Amino acid sequence: MEAQKVDMFMISNAKFFESHQIPIIRDRLISIDDSKWVQISTIQFKDPTLSIVLSVIVGSFGVDRFVIGDTGLGIGKLLTCGGLGIWTIVDWFLIMGATREKNMEMLQRFLF
């Protein structure tokens, strides 16, 4: 794909990914076919800011995990009062990274 398009994508979507993944994504996007552009540019990524807000407010019900698609872990959190409160607090620090990883998984389905 054209470098200009890719850079535009990177600027508007950089916050959804881990910083170390960004160069890899950029290289990969440049090398793939132009026909995938429509699909890639319309993926709905999960916002890490939203997940940290949810994690702080309703984290002990596992809502943050449900939202990013970790349904199993969400149920685990819900059933155990947020892992006796400990898991809730741990997730305040993990959830943004987990959201970015989920976004990367989503994008990888189109990239590779």
Partner 1 sequence: MGLTRNRLYIFLGLSCLAGYIWLFINSKYSDDEVVVCLFKHVTGVPCPSCGSTRSVLYFFNGEIFSSLYWNPMGLIVAAIMLLVPFWIAFDVILKRDTLFRFYKNAEKIFQKRWVAIPAIMLIIGNWIWNIIKGV
Contacting positions for partner 1 (CB under 8 A): 60-61, 69-72, 75-76, 78-85, 88-89, 101, 105
Cβ-based nearer residue to partner 1, 6 or 107: 107
Return all residues near 38 (Cβ < 8 A) that are at least 6 apart.
none
The answer to whether 108 touches 28, Cβ cutoff 8 Å, is: no
Rounded-to-integer distance, Cα 99 and Cα 22, Å: 15
Helix (H, G, I), strand (E, B) or coil at 47: coil
Residue with token string 């993990």: 94
Cβ-based nearer residue to partner 1, 13 or 76: 76
Shortest Cβ 105–partner 1 spacing (Å): 7
Rounded-to-integer distance, Cα 30 and Cα 35, Å: 12
Shortest Cβ 108–partner 1 spacing (Å): 10
Shortest Cβ 24–partner 1 spacing (Å): 15
Cβ-based nearer residue to partner 1, 9 or 45: 45
Shortest Cβ 16–partner 1 spacing (Å): 16
